[in-house]
Structure 1
Amino acid sequence: MKILLVKLSSLGDVVHALPVVHDIHAALPGARIDWVVEKSFAPLLVRCKGLHRVIPCEIRRWRKSFWTAATRNEWRTFKSELQREAYDAVIDLQGLTKSALVARLATLAPGGKRYALANQTEGSGYEAPTRWVADVAIAMQPHIHAVQRSRELAARALGYNLQTQPDFGLKVAVAQQGRVQAAPEKIANSTSKGRVVLVHGTSRADKEWPLDHWITLGRRLVAAGYPVALAHGNAHELTTSQAIAQALTKTAADTVLVLPLLPLDALTEALAQCAGVIGVDSGVSHIAVALNLPHVQIYNFGTAWRTGPVMGGHGARQVGVFARPAPTVETVWQAWLACWAVSSPASAGEVT
């Protein structure tokens, strides 16, 4: 059976849909699964076990220059690649006009069908064309986690029942319980605890955590024996990383590392080599969830139930913390200690 998944963007949304690949293979051994995604996120999907083909597109860029010859040529190339295979099922996991267009352009095998969402769920984007294009539009309960929504849509489209907790299926060299065994020298650390990556960058300014909070948290981590690494994805985020590092290196220069600007696949590999992640609601934080790292996700909005760690909660390895206008450093710190204790019981007595 040949199946095409359509989930173009954004990074966090793509991560949330990853378990669908494992679910399909568990229910339908031998299925061949392709996935259409924005080119910038394709390196992550290349690391997803069970994908036959990743088909990159650049719809975000193309719609800004649709009148140019270069864009028209690129669109024709993408369309040719998309229509190279005929699919028994095309599943639009996104529910937007752009994903509906891709689903419509894909070629169906005889008897094949297009599936999509029939309605909007709480906090998600939704546009009517996805329903018009589909042969089968599937109604979802309005209050549903983003990961579960994709899983249930695919399961109901293909006629199987979900049996397990989500498996994100990322292929990386990650040691047991997030510990470093043979890590890159700049990420690996000789301490028993390993580096904690701080992910302060997000696409929305109103999701950011205050700079002084990051500095205070970093000092607590360093004092407790957790070296810190700072991630960034653009020049603005680099400036923030450097500001945090400058504040921390006044007393602990050897324990603070500003990561270089890394492509998505290399960043995923770097995260996998670290002891855990503390970050805001962002695509990179969601990768940490997919890697099953000890993780605290910081929310200024009450949306952790929808996009936060799936198994998050008291006593969990991963947890989302929420407060307005922002969670306190103490709240985040205590959440980190709890996540670390669950992940590494032998080390729990070492923290204070």
Structure 2
Amino acid sequence: MNILIVKLSSLGDVVHAMPAVQDLRAAIPGAVVDWVVEGGFAPLVRRCDGVRRVIGFGLRRWRRAPLGAQTAAEWRVFREQLRGQRYDAVIDLQGLTKSALVARAARLAPGGRRYAMANRTEGSSYEAPTRWLADVAIRLEPHVHAVTRSRELCARALGYRLPAALRFGLHADPQAVAEPGEVPSVALIHGTSRADKCWPEPHWLELGRRLVADGFRLALPHGDEAELQRARRIAQALGPAVDVWPRLDLGHLTDRLAGCAGVIGVDSGLSHVAVALDLPHVQIYNFDTAWRTGPLPPAAGPARQRSVHAAPSPSVDAVWLAWQGVSGR
């Protein structure tokens, strides 16, 4: 059975769709999965178990030069890749007009169908064409976690029972894992796409001091110039135990994260990558939205990931207590 997943963006949303791939592969032996995703996220999706082919979609870049020769050439390549395979099922996990149009452009095998959500779920974007352009629109419980939403849609579309076990299937280069004897690093995910999701910089400094005193090095990834400047300020204040990482693509960044002893971060795509890698992780929320995007509790055993929420922001003590719980320190 050939299945096409359409989940274009953003980083956290792409990560949240990965367990659905693991579910359907377990339920349907021999299932072959392709995935359409924004090109910048393709290196990450290539590290998802069971994805045969990643089809890069460059809409964000194409919008900057819609009439350019390069845009036209890239569009032709994309369309050829999208239509080069006939699919028994095309599943739009995005719920937007652009994803619905991508799903509609894919080729179906005889008897194949396109599936999409029939309704908006709380806190998520949704546009009506997603159900109009699908062959089958499936109504979901509105109050649902982002991971569960994708899992439920795939299970109901393809007719299998949702398994209890949760697997993301995200793997990293084994060479990225820290060697025995190395000082373990904790990555601090301090950057996010929205300023109101950030944690105060003095909090990061106090948390960093506690981690260094506890025997850890600190790793500071960054995604733009503002995050780089913040990382440099933190590193300058905390001294030689802090490493400011170079800017990396998502594939290499995933590999570097996998080698860390754990992650503490704000609500951002990289924090969700840490969850998918099953790292000890504390996720910091200034809003009560962890029910929708935060780490899900494990089916059994102690939690390796926790969310901490408070307004206007959680205290250092609250985050530190959660870290001690997930790290076993």
TM tier relative to shorter chain? over 0.9
Cα deviation 1:9-52 (Å, max 9, x = unaligned): 00000000011111111000111110000000000011111111
Match of 2:321 in 1: 334
Match of 1:345 in 2: none
Match of 1:190 in 2: 182
Secondary structure of the corresponding residue to residue 3 of structure 1 = strand
Aligned length: 328
Match of 1:258 in 2: 244
For 1:81, the aligned partner's letter is Q
**Native 8 Å contact 1:15 1:286 kept in 2:** yes
Shift of 1:174: 5.7
**Native 8 Å contact 1:312 1:320 kept in 2:** no
**Native 8 Å contact 2:115 2:137 kept in 1:** yes
1:241 to 2:231 alignment: yes
- 2:259 aligns with one of 273, 295, 303: 273
**Native 8 Å contact 1:315 1:338 kept in 2:** no
Secondary structure of the corresponding residue to residue 52 of structure 1 = strand
1:306 to 2:292 alignment: yes
Shift of 1:61: 1.9
Give the alignment's Cα RMSD to 1 decimal. Answer: 1.8
1:224 to 2:214 alignment: yes
Secondary structure of the corresponding residue to residue 153 of structure 1 = helix
CA distance in 2, matches of 1:231, 1:74: 30
- 2:194 aligns with one of 204, 208, 213: 204
Match of 1:185 in 2: none
CA distance in 1, matches of 2:10, 2:102: 16
Cα deviation 1:206-264 (Å, max 9, x = unaligned): 11111111111100111111211111112211111000001101xxx2x2111111111
Query: Aligned runs of 1:63-142 on 2, under 5 Å?
Result: 63-142=63-142
TM-score between both structures, scaled by the size of structure 2 = 0.96
Secondary structure of the corresponding residue to residue 18 of structure 1 = helix
CA distance in 2, matches of 1:228, 1:69: 44
**Native 8 Å contact 2:19 2:169 kept in 1:** yes
Cα deviation 1:110-151 (Å, max 9, x = unaligned): 110000000000000000010001100000000000000000
CA distance in 1, matches of 2:164, 2:190: 32
Match of 1:47 in 2: 47
Match of 1:180 in 2: 178
Shift of 1:69: 3.2
Match of 1:344 in 2: none
The gaps in structure 2 that reach 5 residues or longer are: none
CA distance in 2, matches of 1:190, 1:49: 29
Query: Aligned runs of 1:163-178 on 2, under 5 Å?
Result: 163-173=163-173
Shift of 1:179: 7.3
Shift of 1:315: 5.3
- 1:283 aligns with one of 265, 269, 273: 269
**Native 8 Å contact 1:173 1:273 kept in 2:** no
CA distance in 2, matches of 1:331, 1:37: 36
CA distance in 2, matches of 1:217, 1:224: 11
The gaps in structure 1 that reach 5 residues or longer are: 183-188, 342-347
- Percent of matched pairs sharing the same residue: 61
Match of 1:186 in 2: none
1:296 to 2:282 alignment: yes
